[in-house]
Each structure stands twice: as C-alpha cells, then as structure tokens.
Amino acid sequence: MRYIPNSPEERAEMLAVVGLDSADELFRSIPKEVQLGRKLNVTDPLAESEVIAAMETMAAKNTAATKPSFLGAGVYSHFSPTIVDHLIQRSEFFTSYTPYQPEIAQGTLQYIFEFQTLVCQLTGMEVANASMYDGSTAMAEAYLMAQRVTRRNKIVVATSVHPEYREVAATYTQHGDAEIVEVAFDETSGRIADLSVLDDQTAALVVQSPNFFGCVEDLKALADAAHAVGALLVVVVTEAISFGLLKSPGSCGADIVVGEGQSWGIPMGFGGPHVGLFATQEKFVRQMPGRLCGVAYDKNGNRGFVLTLSTREQHIRREKATSNICTNQGLIALAATIYMETMGKKGLQEVAMQNAQKAAYAATQIAAIDGYSLPFSAPKFNEFVMRGPRPATEILEKMRTENGVIGGLALSKYYASHDNDFLVCVTETNTRDQIDNFVSALNEST
C-alpha cells in the first residue's frame, strides 16, 4: 500500500469538507480510555549503520534461532536455495497486486498458472486453485465444499489431524450447518481407528497424511470406506515435502487435497505468512473456493493467461459465491513455485529421501535408549512420536536449558493422556552430529 503524505493545509481542507475542525473530532467515536494518549515510543532518526547495529542487537536476543531444533508439527525447517529469495524481490513481483487486469499482469498470471500445475502434479489431482491463506483455512474450505458437493452436513475428521487445523476449521464453520464428528486414532498404530461413524449422511471423511504424529495413513482404504457411503475423502498435508516420496493422495482416491506449502522455500517466520494448497477433481471445479488462473488465446492465436472460475463474492452474487476467501497469497505462491521449479522432480525426491532417512536414523537411535520407545507402529516420513520415562515437558526443558537442543513438541499440550510423549521432526537441515548430540542429550536426561 502506498504512503501518501498530506500537508497541514491539505488535512485541514479534508476535515473542513466533512465539517470538522481537528483530527481529535474525527476519532471522537473511539473511547478515550483505549486511545494511546501519547506519541509512539519511536527513537529519533538514526543513520543506516545505527539501524543495522540496533537490528543486529535485537536479533542476537533470539537465541532459539541458533539452537539445533527438531520441531515440526506443521511448520518445517527446510533449506531454501538463494534464488528463491532473490527472484521474489524483483520489483515486478514484489510490488504486484491481484492480477485483475490480465493485459498488464501476464507474468503474475503465468506463475500462478505454473503454481496450480505443479500442485496438481504433486497431489495427483486434476485442478488446483490459485492458493489460499494457509493449510488450516484450506481445510475449513474443504469442509464447506464437501457439503456443497454432497448436499450433506456431517463432517468426520480424525483426531490425528493437526489440532490447530481442527480448531480453525471449527471456528470457520461454527455458524454454518456442518456437524463435525471427531474420530479417535488407534493407540497402537497411530492411524485413524474407527470408521463406523461413516453413514449416508456423511459429506466428507477428513484425514491428514502423514498425520500429526507423523504416521502415514492408508489412504486407499480410507477412500474406499468414504466412497462406500457416498462421502468424499479430504486429505490434509501439512508437510509438502512428503509429496516427493509418498504416493500422491489423488492416486489413492482422494477427492479433495488441501495442505500447507510452507515447506517449499518459505521461511518459518514465527508462523507466517504461509500458503494454502487446494486441489480437487475436475468434476467438482465449480464448487471450488477461491479462483483459478487459466490459459486463453487471443484472436491471433497467441497464448495468454487469465483469471477464471472466480466463484467468490467479489466476482459474483454473494449468495451464489462458494467462498469469501480473498487472497491468492501471490508472493508466497511465487516463492513456492520458484522452489519447486529450481529443485525439479529429482531434487524434490532427493530432499524427501534425506528427510525420511535421517528421521529413521534418529528414531532408531532414540528408541535404543533405556526408557524410550516408539509408541506408534505405522510407517513414518520425517516426524515420529517418542515416549519417554518422564513427562515430556521436563525432558525437553532440560535439554533446552542444559544442552542447547530444542528436542521437539510435548504432545500433552494437545493430548492430555500422552504426558510422556513428544513429537520429533528431522529434516535435511539436521546434520548427523546434531542428531547424535540430540541422542546423547536424551541419554543424559534419563
């Protein structure tokens, strides 16, 4: 957004137009007790070198950024090639806005089209939209789309789906007609357990794979179970790197695939910005939220790109809109596109393989420590749950303060009965030494 300076005379003229004498009168509807009442606590102007020194001092306080970390749980540490950050900062990309005018936004529309194409190839689906806020809101939109497609309201979701995704989706749909039924996971395998709640009123079965515990679900069996009662299978993916190694959800029978694309070259950034993925089958395209970028040809046969099938309230009548979601996260989608095209098919496979191999090595080493075990038996990708001899919060805090290692996420935050369990993530950025030091730290904590 542009900053438009106004002189005192211009401000007085604008106030006069609306019949006011001062800015205080303009804001009189805001209660005095919530007004700041003083100037902002901003330093005096600084030289560039002083600004850099001040920023470096503040950055040095973030000691967690320099510690070896094995945190995942929806936000992942992956290496991003320098070209990603370099190219997205080109002014024609960095300052571009929603490409409403295709004749002057062909570059933006082209990369959106390529983003959609790559999402389709990786998910095994036929159409993908032009990106959404993030994975959690994409999942909520899948709830609503499944209701529209099936004309049913019952949504069955596994408790092994990311707890915060379920919370966002419940908030997102709380004033609608959706009846959300949660299904427990099997305490031995870590996978979704009981499908008896599926019936002819079910709009969708929603699962995550790899799920919140890192366990890979049997998507083909779940698709068969959902389709047997006329429901859709919605597959949620929080770790997009897994597409490089695992069978695509589409090839397993998924009807809608939603997810988070943060792993594709986007910094962790304290939780954002992220980019949502949404893909489905072509027969459902008119029930899809958001908007698609398509290919068109002019009268001379020249190829071009345009926004099409924009079924949101800004483009069509509100009561006919599929969604009011209002972004395509353009710059973040561009970064993800550059990452995928830079890595290529073999690169994505290589990264995924390194993740799986390093995670398997770490899991084996930790499970060999007295008092530690792997509680879930299902196949895993780059995350796994460890069960320790004491509350996980105590173990992790001891490692953080005494060994300088961030060892994972205590599951008790989300699952009260799993006090001794913690979720560990290993990516290509974790070295062999870091993993070995992690194992040693756990040994010392017993």
Residue 93: what pLDDT?
83
| Averaged pLDDT score across all residues of the chain | 92
pLDDT in tens, 218-258: 999 999 999 999 999 999 999 999 999 999 999 999 999 99
* pLDDT grade for 102, boundaries at 50, 70 and 90: confident
pLDDT in tens, 330-348: 899 999 999 999 999 999 9
pLDDT in tens, 105-149: 888 899 999 999 999 999 999 999 987 899 999 999 999 999 999
pLDDT in tens, 28-60: 999 999 998 888 888 888 999 999 999 999 988
Checking if the pLDDT of 271 tops 90, the result is: no
Residue 2: what pLDDT?
60
Residues whose CB falls within 8 Å of the CB of residue 203, separated by 6 or more in sequence, listed in order: 143, 146, 147, 149, 150, 152, 153, 154, 155, 178, 231, 232
Do 143 and 182 form a contact (C-beta atoms < 8 A)?
Answer: no
What are the phi and psi torsion angles at 373 (to 5°)? -155, 165
The 3 state secondary structure assigned to the chain is CCCCCCCHHHHHHHHHHCCCCCHHHHCCCCCHHHCCCCCCCCCCCCCHHHHHHHHHHHHHCCHHHHCCECCCCCCCCCCCCHHHHHHHCCHHHHCCCCCCCHHHCHHHHHHHHHHHHHHHHHHCCCEECCCECCHHHHHHHHHHHHHHHHCCCEEEEECCCCHHHHHHHHHHHCCCCCEEEEECECCCCCCECCCCCCCCCEEEEEEECCCCCCECCCHHHHHHHHHHCCCEEEEEECCHHHHHCCCCCHHHCCCEEEEECCCCCCCCHHHCCCCEEEEECHHHHHHCCCCEEEEEECCCCCEEEEEECCCECCCCCHHHCCECCCCCCHHHHHHHHHHHHHHHHHHHHHHHHHHHHHHHHHHHHHHCCCCCECCCCCCECCEEEEECCCCHHHHHHHHHHHHCCECCEEHHHCCCCCCCEEEEECCCCCCHHHHHHHHHHHHHHC
In terms of Cα–Cα distance, which of 370, 375, 389 is closest to 424? 375
Distance CA 367, CA 388 (A): 9
Checking if the pLDDT of 362 tops 90, the result is: yes
- Percent of the chain topping pLDDT 70: 95
Checking if the pLDDT of 100 tops 90, the result is: no
pLDDT in tens, 144-193: 999 999 999 999 999 999 999 999 999 999 999 999 999 999 999 999 98
Checking if the pLDDT of 1 tops 60, the result is: no
Global pTM value:
0.87
Distance CA 445, CA 5 (A): 59
Distance CA 290, CA 360 (A): 38
* pLDDT grade for 327, boundaries at 50, 70 and 90: low
Distance CA 434, CA 358 (A): 11
Mean pLDDT, residues 63-84:
92
Checking if the pLDDT of 428 tops 60, the result is: yes
The strand pair at 409-410 and 421-425 is best described as antiparallel
Residue 312: what pLDDT?
66
What are the phi and psi torsion angles at 422 (to 5°)? -145, 150
Mean pLDDT, residues 300-305:
92
- Percent of the chain topping pLDDT 90: 77
Checking if the pLDDT of 208 tops 60, the result is: yes
Mean pLDDT, residues 418-438:
96
